[in-house]
Structure 1
Amino acid sequence: MEDEGYHRFLSRCASPLLKELSPASEGLDFGCGPAPLLARILMENGHRVELFDRYYFPEYGAIKKDYDFIVATEVVEHLAAPGDELTRLWRQLRPGGFMALMTKLVISPERFASWHYIRDPTHISFFSAETLRWLAQELGAELQFVDSDVIFLKKSGVYPE
């Protein structure tokens, strides 16, 4: 049985992304985990979604294709070299494409010290709004904070006809 709370959680990314995507877009669920619910939500709405997860769906061919969108929900905090990985993924986005990230953001240095998020030993990379603004500038991306932990980066250009 599907966890309704998890569905609601992922819908905070899926719903606004679905409003942005052209019909039948092709995407990648990067770091999808063992139960790729977000990919299923997107597929149920007419999009094609490839899966990649180093541990559960290690099909490296999926991370060598080009896509209209890439989603990475609750995965970037696990990356040892997030700048390199996000830059590599960015190169796979087609013009006009979206990279949708979900990760908790650092609010302030003072709050970081007692933040529950850093207590997970698998969380090794942390992002702030400033970090994401810098990343968007480096990538030449349009940045949108959709929710407190949902971030869209849009690649300039238009979808091919």
Structure 2
Amino acid sequence: MNCKVCGSEEITLYARNKKREFLRCSRCELVFVPEQFFLTTAQERTRYELHDNSIENKGYTDFLEKIVSVIMERFPVNYTILDFGSGAGAVLGTLLHKKGYSCESYDPLFNIQCNDNAKTYDIIVICEVIEHLRLLQDDLAFIKKRLKPDGTVIIRTQLYPDADNFLKWWYIQDLTHINFFSSLTIDFVASQLNRTVSSTTEEDIFLLSV
């Protein structure tokens, strides 16, 4: 078995609970769930549909507004944006449109596809998505292809705690979460995209830029 980020074969068992095992890459520190513990695609979609990820949910829009603020503080309104893994409601796009940005949505789980297969973007947002991706290498290749040469990727995900606290961590209770990252793992993801990482005022939001 190879790591889904760096390709290393240095994989060991990191933790186990009643529902799943968690493996860890010794090279890039990715912690991931083996495929035999994945939900089916239908189960995954059903779980997402239980979430109230709508424009009417103030808690959800407040959560997304932090991404909007990061973008507004750093990038002009003429930048093109792709919301990768937008969800059925594509709420981030709606919030960005209200601020004057052009944002397209992409989420194959909900049959939301890019209109132009050749288009590239100034910014690609991966907000609470990368922890769900089954084909992480393929998705990173897709993102790299769609990113302009000087473009920026914005990743939002929680970094995992130390080993003593990992099995107590709320993030692993969501069975659709199958990839877990340390700051080193984020650095490796950035390297895959020929980018470097800079932090923001939000501890779970990372900018990957040239």
TM-score (norm 2): 0.67
Task: Give 1:81 deviation, angstroms.
Answer: 2.4
Question: How many residue pairs were aligned?
Answer: 155
Q: 2 CA distance for matches of 1:40 and 1:57?
A: 18
Cα shift readout 1:86-133 (whole Å, capped 9, x = no counterpart): 232022111321111111111222221221111111111111111001
Give the letter aligned to residue 88 of structure 2. P
Q: 2 CA distance for matches of 1:56 and 1:135?
A: 25
1:117 aligns with 2:171: yes
1:153 aligns with 2:208: yes
Question: Of the candidates 39, 48, 51, which is equivalent to residue 105 of structure 2?
Answer: 51
TM-score (norm 1): 0.85
Map 1:80-159 → 2, pairs under 5 A: 80-146=134-200, 147-154=202-209, 156=210
Task: Give 1:63 deviation, angstroms.
Answer: 5.9
5+ long unaligned stretches in structure 2: 1-54
- By percentage of residues, which structure has more helix? 1
Give the letter aligned to residue 11 of structure 1. E
RMSD between superposed Cα atoms in Å: 1.9
Bigger mean CA deviation after superposition, 78-87 or 27-36: 78-87
Instruction: Confirm or deny: 8 A CA contact 2:104 2:114 kept in the other structure.
Output: no
Structure 1 or 2, whichever has the larger Rg, is 2
Instruction: Confirm or deny: 8 A CA contact 2:82 2:124 kept in the other structure.
Output: yes
Identity of aligned residues (%): 32
Cα shift readout 1:46-69 (whole Å, capped 9, x = no counterpart): 221111112324325456521111
